[in-house]
Structure 1
């Protein structure tokens, strides 16, 4: 009742409109204005997993209630004031921060410009993993070789060093693949240790286990003997006895049998093999090649039986090709021996070295491959002859075809160092022959079958061999050694091909007798000598290279 009366007294004589205006004027105005954008956003590294994030306070017409803090675009906290410590982060990681202010009315400012910061990385205490991948341990090395290493690290490898006998070899390699060239000729021959060391940016270092290698740049000499046309005679006995003596005193690598073996009968091969093995003594590998008395036509034994185990002489050198007919093998990295049977049918195939034939291409590629592989000496063995002062001749290599001349000129064009032959039961050493402006082709003699007679061409002679010393690489030397014991043929000094020869011996020559070639190769020098089966008989010696 009191309230009502008071209201009546207050409003007496007036209107209700004045009371309504006073009520509206007293209502509060809504706050719709956001705070200012915070400035001075700063991120300070606390640790590898935490930041202190701070900023300058924002302003508001009523008052700032707090801030919204964003990491990588996502709100992570609403602190009332700065700074804010952001924890449980990932070390070595970059984060982007921004901040906005808000007031009591819920008005939110725009976000500040983003700022990026990276937590510090954890200390790197892990060493690299490193190994020497080449050369292998305990190998023999020579010349310049490449040392290879493998290195990895949890962060990154910054350098790899190679060590020879504990002393760093060259400068540090900072880029993979890690390698260093080592000239072994600069150190003494013998054993040396190699290892490799890797480091990372944090200074962590690791070393591989050391390995030992043997440096050997002075090559051991290689000795081998060669002859053909053996038979089973008293003269063969003397040749084998002389060989046996040599085998006991010298380290003979192998014995090349250049065809025409037993001159016996088919079926008697095993007995001849036993005879030879007993006569030679020791265990020097006997490397065989077909002659015309062992080919598919012969009744004097068959090459297939002469190379058959266990009684005879199977391949002792791991030959590539058709052993007994057309094959090659390398020895000690110094020699490639290539054995061929031109003009002979062997194992159902007749080998003809015409320029268009697969045999010709095989021979050319085999010689080239030896040169590419860095093998310094290439020696070809073949039973049949083309150039000779004796009774044999080119016509037998490829009757009616061009194989004899094609083969002869291929050997000369490729500058095969030495060609060893049998068949003519003589000893003959040629001059060193080569193609030259005045000698593009050397023709053999075919007069024995009514063909063209050879015409001597002095332009084909690179070195006359008068001093028995030939330069290496200047041409090809042909040596016929068919004096294994069967018989001795005559040589003719008036033969059309005689001017191509520097030394010879045959029936009727002074000191004529049986014997074999003894070859020694060491480095860039080849030494050859004809060793007579009996003292006081003919002998010869020569060298190729220095």
Structure 2
């Protein structure tokens, strides 16, 4: 047998595991599944939004999560939807969660946006645009994406109740626990308003729902509302950190201060209010600044852009991709 024949024979032997004379079993193939999505909020309909949509189109993700605050103009739902579909195509999954500008209707209504940019992901559970989740991919899912709306006023002038033990708090908890019970490796929660921030807002989302997400070791929480980019360290409760209180930094609540970001040891928060408008300052001396690992605002490394997230069986990788003309970047990974 020549050299070529020897190589073929070696490949054949490596492809199977045989026991005895007749029982042969193929080796399991490596899990090469992946999910890729982009996320940003606070878009508007100007040149900045179109530039960020160009980035999304270039990246070709499986879907995009729009983190609320869309048109910034009353009665412009159809105009906003046309802008998106012209850039990304009429069937692209441009998935919505409401922001405060469309929850109460003063800059359009979330229901109208949801009609012209409908859900395009199979298996969605809940009320699209307000509170929903979906497993990605539907067959053998790698991740559950959970979207909620704490801290926002709706047309009746009231906020949805995400306080501890409420129906929506329980729904969120069940969605997280259900993913774990189904063997889904990764959980990502998205909502418009943050609790921790280097910008001008306080804890809009609420302490109880935020601490629930951390206590459940949700892998990644995405927010907008602040027109900045801000990415936290991995935060965790337990031991010396019983509760994360806004308005200060507790070093005991930071789990990755001296090591890698590892799944199950806490939660990373990424605020991506960079979808088109920009314009907020970041405060490096904010009392919560110790929780943050990277940031960009109008007064420091200003940028518009999107977060590009890739999830595999083994890891979650994310990077901030700036729009044309901007240079700020950030990247982080969560390993298993």
TM-score (norm 1): 0.55
In the TM superposition, residue 298 of structure 1 has moved relative to its aligned partner by 2.7
Q: 1:314 aligns to what?
A: 118
Q: 2:271 aligns to what?
A: 480
- Please tell me whether the aligned partners of residues 244 and 281 of structure 1 are also in contact (alpha carbons under 8 angstroms): no
Q: 1:226 aligns to what?
A: 39
In the TM superposition, residue 410 of structure 1 has moved relative to its aligned partner by 0.3
Equivalent in 238, 242, 245 of residue 436 of structure 1: 238
Q: 1:426 aligns to what?
A: 228
Equivalent in 256, 279, 282 of residue 87 of structure 2: 279
Q: 1:46 aligns to what?
A: none
CA deviation vs aligned residue, 1:505-529 (integer Å, no higher than 9, x gap):
101113x110000000111200000
CA deviation vs aligned residue, 1:353-375 (integer Å, no higher than 9, x gap):
11131111111111001001000
SS in 2 for 1:463: coil
Q: 2:251 aligns to what?
A: 458
Structure-2 change in CA distance of 1:431 and 1:353 (3 Å): same
Number of equivalenced pairs: 312
- Work out the CA distance in 2 between the residues paired with 1:428 and 1:478: 8
Q: 2:319 aligns to what?
A: 529
In the TM superposition, residue 299 of structure 1 has moved relative to its aligned partner by 1.6
Q: 1:125 aligns to what?
A: none
Please list every run of 5 or more consecutive structure 2 residues that lacks an aligned counterpart in the other structure: 1-18
- Work out the CA distance in 2 between the residues paired with 1:347 and 1:338: 23
Q: 1:343 aligns to what?
A: 151
Equivalent in 23, 27, 31 of residue 188 of structure 1: 27
- Work out the CA distance in 2 between the residues paired with 1:233 and 1:499: 34
- Please tell me whether the aligned partners of residues 227 and 517 of structure 1 are also in contact (alpha carbons under 8 angstroms): yes
SS in 2 for 1:294: helix
Equivalent in 170, 181, 190 of residue 381 of structure 1: 190
- Work out the CA distance in 2 between the residues paired with 1:220 and 1:530: 22
- Please tell me whether the aligned partners of residues 325 and 346 of structure 1 are also in contact (alpha carbons under 8 angstroms): no
Matches within 5 A, 1:90-129: none
- Work out the CA distance in 2 between the residues paired with 1:545 and 1:535: 32
Q: 1:519 aligns to what?
A: 309
TM-score (norm 2): 0.88
CA deviation vs aligned residue, 1:364-388 (integer Å, no higher than 9, x gap):
1110010010000000000011101
In the TM superposition, residue 233 of structure 1 has moved relative to its aligned partner by 0.9
Equivalent in 295, 299, 303 of residue 504 of structure 1: 295
Q: 1:305 aligns to what?
A: 112
Cα-Cα RMSD = 2.1
Between the two structures, name the one with larger relative contact order (CA 8 Å, sep ≥ 6): 2
CA deviation vs aligned residue, 1:276-295 (integer Å, no higher than 9, x gap):
11123474311100000111
Q: 2:12 aligns to what?
A: none
Q: 1:329 aligns to what?
A: 134
In the TM superposition, residue 217 of structure 1 has moved relative to its aligned partner by 4.3
- Please tell me whether the aligned partners of residues 105 and 155 of structure 2 are also in contact (alpha carbons under 8 angstroms): no
SS in 2 for 1:431: strand
Matched, 1:413 2:215: yes
- Please tell me whether the aligned partners of residues 229 and 261 of structure 1 are also in contact (alpha carbons under 8 angstroms): yes
SS in 1 for 2:307: strand
Query: In proportion to residue count, which structure has more strand?
Result: 1
In the TM superposition, residue 487 of structure 1 has moved relative to its aligned partner by 2.5
Please list every run of 5 or more consecutive structure 1 residues that lacks an aligned counterpart in the other structure: 1-163, 170-185, 190-215, 398-403, 445-453
- Please tell me whether the aligned partners of residues 224 and 519 of structure 1 are also in contact (alpha carbons under 8 angstroms): yes
In the TM superposition, residue 301 of structure 1 has moved relative to its aligned partner by 0.8
- Work out the CA distance in 2 between the residues paired with 1:225 and 1:532: 12
SS in 2 for 1:306: helix
In the TM superposition, residue 443 of structure 1 has moved relative to its aligned partner by 0.8
- Please tell me whether the aligned partners of residues 278 and 303 of structure 2 are also in contact (alpha carbons under 8 angstroms): no
- Please tell me whether the aligned partners of residues 194 and 224 of structure 2 are also in contact (alpha carbons under 8 angstroms): yes
In the TM superposition, residue 530 of structure 1 has moved relative to its aligned partner by 0.3
- Please tell me whether the aligned partners of residues 55 and 306 of structure 2 are also in contact (alpha carbons under 8 angstroms): no
Matched, 1:256 2:48: no
- Work out the CA distance in 1 between the residues paired with 2:152 and 2:226: 16
Q: 1:365 aligns to what?
A: 174
